[in-house]
Amino acid sequence: MKGTSSARPLVSRRGGRLFAAAATAAALALTAAACGGDDEESTPPATGGSAGPIPAEYDLAGAGCPQTIVLQTDWNPESEHGGQYQLVGPNPSIDTDKKAVTGDLVATGGIDTGVDIEIRAGGPAIGFQTTTSQMYADDDITIAYVSTDEQVALSATQPTVALLAGMEISPQIIQWSPEVHPDWQTIADIGRTDTKVLYFQGAAYMDYFTGSGILKGSQVDGSYDGTPTNFVASGGEYAVQGFATSEPYTYEHEVRSWGKPMKYQLIADAGFNFYQQAIGVRADKLEELRPCLEKLIPIMQQAIVDFMNDPAETNELILRLVEEYNNGWIYTPGVADYAVQTMAELGIVGNGETPTLGDFSESRQQELIDILGPIYEEAGKPIKDGLTAADLFTNEFLDMSISMAS
C-alpha cells in the first residue's frame, strides 16, 4: 500500500438488514454459516494487482487524488457493495477496530492506480448515523454512499452531489407470507386490509405510502428492529420490510423458526423509485476533487461490471471482512450468491433507461423531490429553497460507453 489514512472511525445508517445479536440469534435459531477459518493475522483474498507503468487513464495519483481515497459505506460488508470492494487490491490491511479495509486501489484487470482505497463499514458495525453527516464531520472521507431521500432531506444543511448510481433500483421491499396471504400481489393489496406492516421508524418511503393512501397510517408499525422476531411470532400474519437481495433468502433458508418462502414487492415498483447507495461527494468539495473524479468514476463504473460478471473472489473478501469485524452481523456464502443473482435478475444493478451503467435520470430525481419536499416540510425539516434535480446529481464524470451486457 502507498500510505495510511488518519481518518477516525465513522458511522452511517441503513435500516432493515437481518442483524442478530447473540440473544436474538439464539431465540430464533438463526443459522450462521462459517465464512472461513483462518486467524486474524492472515490475509484475505483480493482482486489482484499488476506491476509496471500506470496507464494514463488509470493514474489516480497523477490526477491529484488523495493518497488514500476513503469510501464510507452505509452498512456492513455485503454483496450489494461488491462493485466497490472489487477495487481493493492484493494484501489489504484490515482494521477490526475501525471496521475498515485498506489496500491498493486497482482498476479492471488489477491495474495499479497509484493510490490506496479505504472502505469503511457503516450502520450497526460502528453505530447508526448518516453517511452525509460523517462526510461533513470528517474531511478525510472522499466519497460516500448517498440516497435520494437523504440528499433531499439534508439539501439545506449538508448538500451532496451523486456521481454514480451503483444501483439502478433500490432493493428495498415489503415482504409477506404467500401461504398466509395468497391474495396479495402488491403493497397496495396490503393497504386494502388492516394487517400490520413492520418497518424502521423514520423511513421516508413509508411516509409516502401512508400519505398517498397506499397503506393506512393505522396499520404501519415503526418498531421493526432488523430481526424476524415479531414477524415469526405473528405466524406470518404481519408484513415486514426487507431487501430483495437478502431477506427472502434468509427467511426461507436461514431462519429455522420460519423456513418458508416469502413474496414481496419492490418499493420502487410501488411508486417510491429512489436511488440508493449512489456514490456521492460533498457539494463544496466537487470542484476540488474534479480532476480526480474524472478518472476515478469510470474506474468505479467498470469495477461494478467486473464484479457482476465474476463476483466469486470479491465475495470471498466480503465474507472474510464480516468474519473479522465480528460485530454480530450474520452474512453467509448463500446470501452473498443470492444477492448477486437477484441484482442481475431484477436489474437492481443495470443500465436503466440508457445503455450507460450508473447514470441518473433527471425526471426521476425531480419526481422524488416533488414527493419528498412536502413530507419533510410537514416534519419540520424544510429542504433547500428551490431545490432541483440538477442540485442532486451529475453524470459528467461517467464514461458513457461502460455498460452492463444485456
Tell me: do 101 and 189 sit in the same domain. Answer: no
Q: How far is CA 291 from CA 25, 119, 287, 288, in A?
A: 47, 21, 8, 8
Greater confidence (405 vs 1) lies with 405
The number of helix segments (H) and strand segments (E) in the chain equals 12, 12
Residue 33 has pLDDT above 80, yes or no: no
Tell me: do 216 and 280 sit in the same domain. Answer: no
Q: How confident is the model at residue 24 (pLDDT cuts 50, 70, 90)?
A: very low
> What SS3 state is found at 402?
coil
pLDDT at 52: 67
Amino acid at 362: E
Q: Is residue 17 part of a domain?
A: no
Residue 19 has pLDDT above 60, yes or no: no
Tell me: do 310 and 357 sit in the same domain. Answer: yes
Structural domain containing residue 381? 42-168+275-391
Q: How confident is the model at residue 38 (pLDDT cuts 50, 70, 90)?
A: very low
Tell me: do 372 and 297 sit in the same domain. Answer: yes
Greater confidence (232 vs 44) lies with 232
Greater confidence (188 vs 379) lies with 188
Sign for the CA dihedral angle at 87, 160, 120, 405 comes to: negative
Q: Is residue 36 part of a domain?
A: no
> What SS3 state is found at 249?
helix
pLDDT tens per residue across span 329-349: 899 999 999 999 999 999 999
Residue 389 has pLDDT above 50, yes or no: yes
Tell me: do 124 and 163 sit in the same domain. Answer: yes
Q: How confident is the model at residue 123 (pLDDT cuts 50, 70, 90)?
A: confident
pLDDT at 204: 94
Q: What is the DSSP code string of 285-315?
A: GHHHHHHHHHHHHHHHHHHHHHHHHS-HHHH
Tell me: do 206 and 60 sit in the same domain. Answer: no
Q: Is residue 399 part of a domain?
A: no
Q: Is residue 354 part of a domain?
A: yes
Domain finish residue from 270, 297, 320: 270
Q: Which residues pair with 144 in a beta bridge?
A: 72, 280
Tell me: do 197 and 301 sit in the same domain. Answer: no
Tell me: do 156 and 279 sit in the same domain. Answer: yes
Amino acid at 242: G
Start-to-end CA span in the chain (Å): 36
Q: What is the CATH classification number for the domain harbouring 297?
A: 3.40.190.10
Tell me: do 374 and 313 sit in the same domain. Answer: yes
Greater confidence (19 vs 277) lies with 277
Q: What is the DSSP code string of 119-180?
A: EE--GGGT-B--HHHHHHH-TT--EEEE-HHHHHHTTTTS-EEEEE-S-SS--EEEEE-TTT
Q: Is residue 400 part of a domain?
A: no
Domain finish residue from 270, 298, 314: 270
Tell me: do 61 and 194 sit in the same domain. Answer: no
Q: How confident is the model at residue 49 (pLDDT cuts 50, 70, 90)?
A: very low
Q: What is the CATH classification number for the domain harbouring 198?
A: 3.40.190
Q: Is residue 109 part of a domain?
A: yes
Q: Is residue 327 part of a domain?
A: yes
pLDDT at 31: 36
What global pTM score does this model have? 0.88
pLDDT tens per residue across span 133-157: 999 999 999 999 999 999 999 999 9
Q: Is residue 3 part of a domain?
A: no
The strands making up 160-164's β-sheet, listed across from edge to edge, are 93-95, 100-107, 111-120, 68-72, 143-146, 278-282, 160-164
pLDDT at 83: 98
Tell me: do 226 and 158 sit in the same domain. Answer: no
Domain finish residue from 220, 255, 270: 270
Tell me: do 381 and 257 sit in the same domain. Answer: no
Contact status, residue 309 vs residue 200, Cβ threshold 8 Å = no
pLDDT at 359: 98
pLDDT at 281: 98
Mean pLDDT value across the chain: 89
Q: Could you give the number of structural domains in the chain?
A: 2
Greater confidence (4 vs 18) lies with 18
Which secondary-structure segment (H or E) carries 240? strand 239-243
Q: How confident is the model at residue 5 (pLDDT cuts 50, 70, 90)?
A: very low
